[in-house]
Amino acid sequence: MKLVNPANKRRHTLIVVGSGLAGASAAATLGELGYHVSCFCFQDSPRRAHSIAAQGGINAAKNYQNDGDSVYRLFYDTVKGGDFRAREANVYRLAQISVNIIDQCVAQGVPFAREYGGTLANRSFGGAQVSRTFYARGQTGQQLLLGAYQALERQVQAGTVTMYPRTEMLDLIVIDGRARGIVTRNLVTGEVDTHLGDAVILGTGGYGNVFYLSTNAKGSNVTAIWRAHKRGALFANPCYTQIHPTCIPVSGDYQSKLTLMSESLRNDGRIWVPMKKGDKRTPDQIPETDRDYYLERRYPSFGNLVPRDVASRNAKYVCDEGRGVGETGLGVYLDFGDAIRRLGRKAIEERYGNLFDMYQRITDEDPYTVPMRIYPAIHYTMGGLWVDYHLMSTIPGLFVIGEANFSDHGANRLGASALMQGLSDGYFIVPYTVGDYLATNKLDKVAETHSEIRNAVACVQQTVQKLLGINGKRTVDSFHRELGKIVWEYCGMSRNAQGLETAIEEIRSLREEYWQNVKVPGSGDDFNQSLEKAGRVADFFELAELMCVDALERNESCGGHFREEYQTADGEAQRDDEEFSYVAAWGYRGYGNREDLSKEPLEFQYVHPSQRSYK
């Protein structure tokens, strides 16, 4: 890999969009190396990025527990957990880097949990039989993000990074086939601006909010990567979405988001439903003999720690059978009774205290005495912009990191791996690969008056004016909610061909209505939160269709993509490696047109694809 001469680094301006784990760590590291970095986020501060909400932990193959962990095992678990739909080479690199991430974060002062001897503590997570997850109470994401944020602010102080908060990227500037800048809108003044550079790095997160109800922050959106997609970057595996098994069930129509309870709870909590359908007794009235600990029964070796897709699907099955709990019947119990009897209330408080408090605040029930009720919810999206081994998209000079790319998790992400991937991409991969790109390509200076720039700015202004001018009858949220219901119904936990076709029809007609009948109040010249949402929802509409098209094309079940037509006799996902062992990368062909499919074949040299078994 080529290097950029230290004296030349400061001559390059790099644009980083997003300030979560991936974006902040990349911006900070590139700043440390001496590049001039402009970093953008739509929130009021880079510290608000949604990485902050990750609870459980971060994996690393340290083998501090002497339980047989290794780089190879983490690699193996991740490839298998992703249901053999990830690129081996990327995953191996991720596993190698995992150990450096922990070192870096410890040095930054991330207050990881410690043993009494002062060494780092670990916990177990789904999909693994070793204890390799590092954590800071139930706030691991917060602490890792604050570490990256502090590193970023240090570079702001040093003058290498310029931070642009409350600034949203609305288009990508591509000149002579290369990414050379972005068009932004200042969310306070409404000003549309351009920022030019030698490379653009997107770390803008996932698109789970296409479902309206998800565990994502309200502001999380697909706009940055979608608009890059419309400028030519291929979008890979959009149908791979992850449903998290342990969220607080929906309670009413007004609901604006779903709250996740960390998967780490499955370490000590036992999941069950009543044996009998429609058993309305309170949980303490249901004796052991009338309880079905269905995960322990079906998967004796992994039990409650099966991967997320398996746990979610099984919760759906038991609820579909009419054995769900709570008022809506869409919930299962997560019971800490045994753990409290075994370890004492204090130990449980220490491990999960803040999660229990949060549950109680929301539901008004005490999880120390009454089992929690949980239900799956959309949590993470494995799909994203296609990138090569250098994390560069199909547009040269456009790099995509963290959840925004598709690279490492295949069809299903294991717990505690998102933080690992975000930081790996940001601290340790993209700072090298961007350097290689700059060193191997001659980039001419771009004139500020270039026609592509004027064109991109006009495009952005047009969309803003169009949204404001419709002045219809329905609010943005009402459309978003309806879109979310369609996608959840037909492209959620399980999918079938007929449903997906219906979904495509419904999405198209709702999208037509959106452009005729949405009502966006206010103007484009000031702080207008409805306008922000309107642009994002417009992009979700287009993405939603592509997700369904991708899900329809993939005639197999794998990981988070479960097609009802393709399952084993006992209801497990059935892959078709002959036909579908590839990455589906879609190319935009204009509004409303079917996208072009390219296939990147997946080759497995080390981990032989097998039927994933957690029994």
Partner 1 sequence: MRIKLKIWRQKSRNASGRFVSYPVENVNPDMSMLECLDVLNEQLIQQGEDPVAFEHDCREGICGSCGFMVNGVAHGPLPATTVCQLTMRHFNDGNELVLEPWRARAFPLIKDLVVDRRSFDRIIAAGGYISVSTGSAPDGNAIPVPKEAADRAMDAAACIGCGACVAACPNASAALFTGAKMTHLGILPQGKPERDVRAIRMVAQMNEEGFGGCTNIGECTGVCPKEIPLEVIAAMNRDYFRASWRERDNVVTTIRPFTEWSTGSKLQVDPPSGR
The binder of partner 1 chosen from 362, 447, 458, 497 (CB under 8 A): 362
Query: Which pair of tokens denotes residue 225?
Result: 């990567």
Q: Is 103 in the site for partner 1 (CB under 8 A)?
A: yes
The binder of partner 1 chosen from 521, 568, 599, 606 (CB under 8 A): 521
CB of 113 to partner 1, least distance (A): 7
Q: Is 527 in the site for partner 1 (CB under 8 A)?
A: yes
Number of residues engaging partner 1 in binding (CB under 8 A)? 85
**Residue 610 CB burial class (10 angstroms; 0-12, 13-18, ≥19):** exposed
Q: What do you get for the CA distance between the two ends of the chain, in Å?
A: 43
Q: Is 112 in the site for partner 1 (CB under 8 A)?
A: yes
8-state DSSP, 6: H
Cβ atoms of residues 385 and 228 within 8 Å:
yes
CB of 52 to partner 1, least distance (A): 5
Query: Which pair of tokens denotes residue 187?
Result: 């969310």
Stretch that binds partner 1, among 98-106, 237-245, 369-377, 547-555 (CB under 8 A): 98-106
CB of 474 to partner 1, least distance (A): 9
Separation CA 258–CA 215 (nearest Å): 5
Residues 292 to 351 in contact with partner 1, rule: CB under 8 A: none
Stretch that binds partner 1, among 76-84, 523-531, 560-568, 580-588 (CB under 8 A): 523-531
Q: Is 139 in the site for partner 1 (CB under 8 A)?
A: yes
Residues 4 to 33 in contact with partner 1, rule: CB under 8 A: 25, 28-29, 32
8-state DSSP, 5: -
Q: Is 358 in the site for partner 1 (CB under 8 A)?
A: yes
Stretch that binds partner 1, among 87-95, 284-292, 441-449, 470-478 (CB under 8 A): 470-478
Site string for partner 1, 171-190 (x = CB under 8 A): -----------------x--
Cβ atoms of residues 3 and 439 within 8 Å:
yes
* 264 vs 412 by CB, closer to partner 1: 264
* 197 vs 559 by CB, closer to partner 1: 197
* 300 vs 522 by CB, closer to partner 1: 522
Separation CA 530–CA 320 (nearest Å): 37
* 104 vs 381 by CB, closer to partner 1: 104
The dihedrals phi and psi of 349, each to the nearest 5 degrees, come to: -60, -40
CA distances from 159 to 27, 163, 540 (A): 12, 10, 36
Separation CA 545–CA 242 (nearest Å): 18
DSSP, residue by residue, 346-389: HHHHHHHHHHHHHHHHHH---TTTS-EEEEEEEEEE--EE---T
* 195 vs 229 by CB, closer to partner 1: 195
Stretch that binds partner 1, among 103-111, 236-244, 509-517, 562-570 (CB under 8 A): 103-111
Q: Which of 409, 400, 405, 402 is nearest to 384 (CA)?
A: 405
Cβ atoms of residues 515 and 543 within 8 Å:
no
CB of 226 to partner 1, least distance (A): 20
The dihedrals phi and psi of 453, each to the nearest 5 degrees, come to: -70, -45
> How is the beta sheet containing 36-40 ordered, strand by strand?
161-164, 36-40, 13-17, 199-202, 398-400
Q: Is 46 in the site for partner 1 (CB under 8 A)?
A: yes
Residues 528 to 557 in contact with partner 1, rule: CB under 8 A: 529-530
Alpha-helical (H) ranges within 417-450 are 418-423, 430-440
Instruction: Show the CA angle centred on residue 281, arms to residues 361 and 293, nearest 5°.
Output: 80
Residues 142 to 161 in contact with partner 1, rule: CB under 8 A: 142-143, 146, 149-151, 153-154, 156-159, 161
Residues 203 to 242 in contact with partner 1, rule: CB under 8 A: 217-219
Q: Is 427 in the site for partner 1 (CB under 8 A)?
A: yes
* Other beta carbons within 10 Å of 499: 20
Separation CA 101–CA 122 (nearest Å): 15
* Other beta carbons within 10 Å of 199: 28
Cβ atoms of residues 99 and 132 within 8 Å:
no
The binder of partner 1 chosen from 62, 195, 244, 480 (CB under 8 A): 62
The binder of partner 1 chosen from 361, 442, 445, 608 (CB under 8 A): 361
Q: Is 485 in the site for partner 1 (CB under 8 A)?
A: no
Stretch that binds partner 1, among 131-139, 171-179, 226-234, 541-549 (CB under 8 A): 131-139
Residues 258 to 277 in contact with partner 1, rule: CB under 8 A: 259-260
Q: Is 507 in the site for partner 1 (CB under 8 A)?
A: no
Stretch that binds partner 1, among 130-138, 289-297, 377-385, 542-550 (CB under 8 A): 130-138
Q: Which residues contact 31 (CB under 8 A, 6 or more apart)?
A: 37, 152, 155, 158, 160, 161
CB of 11 to partner 1, least distance (A): 18
* 162 vs 567 by CB, closer to partner 1: 162
* 89 vs 188 by CB, closer to partner 1: 188
Stretch that binds partner 1, among 249-257, 293-301, 331-339, 605-613 (CB under 8 A): 249-257
Q: Is 111 in the site for partner 1 (CB under 8 A)?
A: yes
CB of 254 to partner 1, least distance (A): 5
Separation CA 149–CA 142 (nearest Å): 10
Q: Is 132 in the site for partner 1 (CB under 8 A)?
A: no
* 44 vs 290 by CB, closer to partner 1: 44
